Amino acid sequence: MTYIFLDTNSLLHFQDFENINWNDIVKDPDYEIVICPMVLNEINKHKDSSIGKRRERAKKINKKLSDIIRKRRNCKVPLTFCKNPSRTICESDDFNSMSQDDWIVYSAVDFDTQDRKVIISNDNGLFLRCQDLGIECLDLPDKYLCPMDPTNEESEIKQLKKQIELLTNAAPILDLCFDNHSNEISFPKYEIVDIDSELEKYKESLIEEFPHRIYRSYNSYFGGSNLPLSRILGDEAIQEDDVENYNRQVDEYIDEMCAIKKVQLSCNIFDRSINRLNLLVENSGSIKSGEMRICIYFPDELMIYTKEALCEVDVTPPYEPKLETKAQKRLYERIQGGLNTLALSPYGMYQGTARSGKYENHWNHKSQLKVRNPYMITADALTHYFCETVTNREELYISTIKEGDYIIKWQIVDENQPLPFSGELIIHIH
């Protein structure tokens, strides 16, 4: 059995005695902690008169020992309390009543046991006194030292220093980010569909709707001679060159309609690859910023657009082909000569009114922002701890057709600050 006597400093400057591996220190699993009256007195004094960590620590230790003494809680390790040295010892010439070390050492000497007694102390004076009286004295390893937790005073001082630093170094801290509040954003790559097959289907539907005509002679109608029908009806009849002209018109009409369809399909594919790019400016500093000039440097290979890239595409269809006789053509020519407001078809066909145009809005992939690099944005002053979208008025759009990782450099100039803020944004398209 080993009785372990703790001095005041071992309680104040080291970890809670309940959490220390005493077996590792005294090399005996059978032990008991002993607290002397002098140690209790010193702990009580420190909780009232000391400052800083020592006072906070003394308050905690005093509360724990008080609860154990009054049996308001159980101790996790074997613990007992000894008495002061006997009067005989206290009145001897070797005993110094003014020495705290003597009170602890002689309390151990006078402790009634034949078992091993060990005093725990890192105090050199106490160690020497133990040697004089033949009492074993051991150090507590540094690993059991208390962590340097700040006291209330230290925490308060730290907070005041922080406030002083904020006031001394008051400045906005500006940053540019995406609307996900990150400097990185990802877009899925738009997979381009095959438009050739769509065009082929569309052309087949037109051929079915507008088939070529076949010229038929008089014999095909009446089963007689092989005279052409024009010999019977004159100019009122459909002639062979009229059919040839009509078939030529059909081919031209289908080619024009397919060309328009190809433009529409190409534009629609590119339109679906366009995504809105929203940028935020954040002020994490301690004061309001001034008016800002934001410079954005987009890489040349990144396809960035503004609304200026939207344009009208003429998808006005041609007039449908119609089979005409010579007599009809002469009639339309006379009408055209007399009425200038009337319109004729490209094939000479009277329409009565002018053809109205048909237009669609599409993105022009040739109108990229790179010609305007760096891209400049003016932003109003920003309150500290706030963020705002800077691409509301000047909208930006990105095409996700080209795969890759793109680095965007930026710089923010605050009119009230001597140096600009700068950084990078990354766009992933995969």
Model confidence over 258-268: pLDDT tens digits?
999 999 998 88
Mean pLDDT score, 85-106: 90
The answer to whether residue 44 scores a pLDDT higher than 70 is yes
Contact 282, 174 (CB under 8 A): yes
Q: Label residue 393 by pLDDT band (50, 70, 90).
A: confident
Alpha helix segments (H runs only) across 115-168: 124-133, 152-168
User: What does the alpha-carbon distance between residue 273 and residue 193 come to, in Å, rounded to a whole number?
Assistant: 12
pLDDT digits (tens, 9 = 90+) for 339-363: 544 444 444 343 433 456 888 888 8
User: What does the alpha-carbon distance between residue 397 and residue 385 come to, in Å, rounded to a whole number?
Assistant: 27
Lowest mean pLDDT among 50-54, 278-282, 296-300, 333-337: 333-337
Mean pLDDT score, 397-409: 93
Mean pLDDT score, 322-350: 58
CATH, domain 172-189+273-317+358-430, list 2.160.10.10, 1.10.3720.10, 2.60.120.1570, 2.60.40.10: 2.60.40.10
Coil/strand/helix, residue 79: strand
- What does the pLDDT read at residue 405? 95
pTM of the entire predicted model: 0.51
CATH, domain 2-144, list 3.40.50.720, 3.20.20.150, 3.40.50.1010, 3.20.110.20: 3.40.50.1010
User: What does the alpha-carbon distance between residue 140 and residue 123 come to, in Å, rounded to a whole number?
Assistant: 10
Q: Domain segments of the chain: what residues? A: 2-144, 172-189+273-317+358-430
